[in-house]
């Protein structure tokens, strides 16, 4: 064989080998990208909503605005995201230990070891809710002693309510409710006059009042200062977590600037907690 021909044949073999290994690498990368995001969550509508059908571990329809945000970033099918319905604290533990990829939703205060996007996926404003014809309104810490409160057990509510709950007035004992549909049961107690007020995340309370038909009976009685930003928290030792957090931040920016976030929130009767031009 002519030397030039032999050289060309060897070159073609080398190119074929390079192409083969490149193809294998591309397939491996595609498979890695195709692995579903494993996320832990409970039920905190309208952020994320579980179907109310007993025994069914799946999202409701609509699934919650934070779920819709997540799906814009990572996809909406079972090959994109797997949802694991677990108690919130157990999800944090599983994400911290690397058994799950992420939790929806938490805060750096509650889970400081997780990795977070630079932009929040929700904002919690704590407010009080009372019967529409109630004369009571929250006007500061001193007004808490003037109302009979019923709250969900195990919650942290923010200041000044947390401090008041450590030393409530003897003539105004605070009642606590736990279990399924706790907030709905409290709202029904308020409507029936069995208690006077409760405290809850404004988005959660307003959505439940709207969907339960109680909006005409119960309304916002004032909010306490400050807010708490909620995030999808990612597993600290997962090599994909930083890229996923960055992707979610970029998705938030895109959804907000395009007006799509406004449309998502409107489906739940909500508005954007952060104006487009706000930092």
105 and 72 within one domain: yes
Residues 119 and 130 occupy one common structural domain: no
The reply to whether 208 and 83 lie within a common domain is no
Report DSSP state, residue 115: B
Tell me what pLDDT residue 4 has.
52
Residues 159 and 182 in one domain: yes
Tell which residue, 195, 183, 191, has the closest CA to residue 219. 191
Q: Which domain holds residue 66?
A: 35-123+228-266
CATH of the domain at 179: 3.40.190.10
Please indicate, yes or no, if residue 26 is contained in any of the structural domains: no
Structure tokens at 159: 């200041």
- The answer to whether position 76 is within a domain reads yes
Residues 86-96 have pLDDT tens digits of: 988 899 999 99
Q: Classify residue 158 as left (phi > 0), alpha (psi -120 to 50) or beta.
A: left
- Supply the pLDDT for residue 34: 55
Q: Which pLDDT belongs to residue 178? A: 85
Condensed to tens digits (0 to 9), the pLDDT of residues 133-161 reads: 999 999 999 999 999 999 998 777 878 99
Q: Where are the alpha helices (DSSP H) in 35-87?
A: 65-74
Regarding whether 156 and 116 lie in a shared domain, the answer is no
In a domain, 191, yes or no: yes
Judgement on whether residues 232 and 106 belong to the same structural domain of the protein: yes
Q: Are residues 186 and 147 in the same domain?
A: yes
Whether residue 245 contacts residue 104, with contact meaning beta carbons closer than 8 Å, is answered with no
Given this model, what pLDDT does residue 55 score? 79
Closest CA to 66 of 248, 250, 254: 248
218 with 183, same domain: the answer is: yes
Q: What is the pLDDT, as a whole number, of residue 276?
A: 59
> What is the bridge-based pairing of β-strands 37-41 and 81-85?
parallel
Q: Are residues 96 and 213 in the same domain?
A: no
Is residue 198 within 8 A of residue 222, CB to CB? The reply is no
Residue 137 lies inside a defined structural domain of this protein: yes
Task: Note the pLDDT of residue 226.
Answer: 84
Q: Are 86 and 160 in a shared domain?
A: no
- Quote the number of domains for the chain: 2
Write down the pLDDT at residue 22.
47
Q: Is there a domain that residue 217 lies in? A: yes
Residue numbers of the chain with a pLDDT score lower than 50: 1-3, 5, 7-8, 10-11, 15-32
Find the radius of gyration of the CA atoms of the chain. Answer: 25
CA–CA dist 28, 33 (Å, integer): 9
Compute the distance between CA of residue 152 and CA of residue 187 in angstroms, rounded to an integer: 11
The confidence score (pLDDT) of residue 20 equals 39
Residues 109 and 241 in one domain: yes
Do 46 and 177 fall within a single domain? no
How much is the pLDDT for 122?
A: 96
Tokens 């809850």 -> residue: 200
Dihedral pair phi/psi, residue 218, rounded to 5°: -130, 140
Whether 10 maps to a domain, the answer reads no
Cα separation of 152 and 43, whole Å?
14
| Domain-located, residue 199 | yes
Does residue 240 sit within a domain? yes
């Amino acid at each position: 064989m002519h030397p030039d021909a032999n050289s060309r044949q060897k070159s073609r073999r080398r190119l074929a080998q390079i192409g083969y290994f490149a193809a294998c690498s591309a397939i491996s990368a595609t498979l890695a990208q195709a692995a579903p995001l494993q996320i832990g969550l409970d039920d905190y509508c309208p952020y994320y909503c579980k179907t109310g059908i007993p025994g069914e571990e799946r999202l409701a329809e609509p699934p919650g605005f934070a779920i819709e945000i997540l799906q814009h970033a990572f996809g909406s099918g079972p090959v994109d995201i797997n949802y694991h319905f677990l108690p919130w604290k157990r999800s944090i533990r599983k994400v911290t230990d690397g058994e799950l990829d992420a939790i929806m939703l938490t805060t750096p205060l509650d889970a400081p070891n997780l990795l977070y996007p630079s932009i929040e996926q929700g904002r919690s404003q704590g407010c009080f809710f009372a019967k529409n014809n109630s004369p009571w309104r929250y006007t500061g810490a001193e007004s808490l002693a003037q109302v009979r409160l019923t709250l969900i057990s195990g919650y942290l509510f923010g200041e000044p309510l947390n401090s008041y709950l450590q030393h409530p007035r003897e003539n105004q004992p605070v009642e606590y409710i736990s279990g399924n549909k706790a907030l709905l049961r409290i709202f029904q107690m308020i409507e029936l006059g069995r208690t006077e007020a409760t405290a809850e995340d404004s988005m959660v309370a307003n959505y439940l009042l709207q969907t339960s038909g109680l909006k005409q009976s119960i309304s916002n009685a004032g909010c306490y200062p400050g807010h708490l930003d909620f995030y999808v928290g990612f597993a600290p030792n997962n090599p994909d977590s930083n890229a996923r957090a960055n992707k979610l931040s970029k998705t938030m920016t895109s959804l907000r600037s395009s007006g799509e976030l406004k449309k998502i929130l409107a489906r739940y009767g909500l508005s954007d907690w952060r104006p487009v031009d706000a930092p």
